[in-house]
Amino acid sequence: MRLLHTMLRVGDMQRSIDFYTKVLGMKLLRTTDRPEQKYTLAFVGYESNPDQAEIELTYNYGVDKYEMGTAYGHIAVGVADAYQTCANAKALGANVTRDAGPVQGGTTVIAFIQDPDGYKIELIQRGT
């Protein structure tokens, strides 16, 4: 078994694609529009399956906002430099909710940013 993708419902497809490609440096891997079923999909990631898991962005026609449940936590992304990634994200207008720094009680450098729909993304510094 392997993890294939995580699906996130989004309120504005282009805004979300821009966030994941421009702020997080992912690639737009493929899109599917299903007008009869009233939804559009976009898959983003650093590589396609089966090499890496992807994020499936789902836009349901006419829905521009979702309630954020209390069970959802975050998606984690490994980055070479969390400080620089946060600086770049801020320059692009992204919401950095926790600046880069060591995790409480440890030395691993982490940060948190939020996508346009409110989903949290943890940046974990992994080095190069």
* 63-73 tens-digit pLDDT: 999 988 888 89
- 122 assigned to active site: yes
> Would the pTM count as exceeding 0.95?
no
pLDDT one-digit tens code per residue, 10-57:
999 999 999 999 999 999 999 999 999 999 999 999 999 889 999 999
How far is it, in rounded angstroms, from Cα 28 to Cα 47? Answer: 10
Please tell me the predicted confidence (pLDDT) of residue 127: 65
- The CATH superfamily label for domain 5-60 reads 2,3-Dihydroxybiphenyl 1,2-Dioxygenase, domain 1 (3.10.180.10)
Q: What count of Cα atoms within 13 Å lies in the side-chain half-sphere of residue 121? A: 24
Average pLDDT across the chain, whole number:
95
With cut-offs at 50, 70 and 90, classify the pLDDT of residue 122: very high
- Domain 75-125 in CATH 1.10.3720.10: no
Please pick, among 36, 56, 67, 122, the residue that the annotation labels catalytic: 122
Domain positions in the chain? 5-60, 75-125
Fold equal for 5-60 and 75-125: yes
Q: 61-67, long-range: CB within 8 Å, 24+ apart, which pairs? A: 61/35, 62/38, 63/9, 63/11, 64/11, 64/12, 65/11, 65/117, 66/9, 66/11, 66/117
Is 1 a residue whose pLDDT tops 90?
Answer: no
